[in-house]
Amino acid sequence: MRQYEYKDMTGMVADVDTQARKVKAVWSRMGNVDLDGDIIMQGAFTKTIAECGPMGKNQIWSLIDHKAMMGCVIGKPIELYEDGDMLIAVTPILDTEMGEDVLKMYMSGLINQHSIGFATIKSDFQDQDQTIRQIKEVKLYEGSAVLWGANPMTPTLSITKDFKHRLDTLENAYNNGSFTDKTASRLEIEINQLKSALNAFTLPAQKAVEPNSELLAALRSTNQSLKNLL
């Protein structure tokens, strides 16, 4: 059985039509090296779209957070195609409680990330060190709206500004939206997580602990001995 893999795509919601309940979004990008050292090549989705997409067996799903459960299904794409370096999906959102909240989240900017679930069919490495994998063909199973993309419990200084922006967006949606109780409670959880994470940056920095020179010397000696044995 082939390994099930995920690839994330941030900030690419092309269009939201609330009247027709349709969302057009970029599910994936091609031609760039991602954080896993992979490049999805152009044409990698061609066969799977033809076989399993809207004009084929129609077996590709639109989900929430990759959860293949009835409550997390928001539809199936009626259009799925490669456009340049983008994999684009147009999905009618189901008229369910979850679907209603999903549309509101798209409109308020809370959903701005997508991720695909797939298996690699053909790939090879473009370099001798085998650090960059070229993915040439995949079997696509689903594209997911990723509600809580970043982990607010592990922030870094470089993304503090993004966290503040997301916190403002969440609070505005929470205070002015009309979400179901379940979704409102999830929003409240993330708001509190983000506040805790951002507050951590206001704490006084702890004094760095000086390393024990004798211990470092012993570790270096042990490490060199291990290298000699290999």
Residues 199-213 have pLDDT tens digits of 765 555 444 445 455
Which residues touch 195 (CB under 8 Å, ≥6 apart)? Answer: 167
- If you average pLDDT over residues 19-38, what whole number do you get? 88
Tokens of 217: 């010397």
Residues 157-192 have pLDDT tens digits of 445 666 777 788 888 888 888 888 777 777 776 777
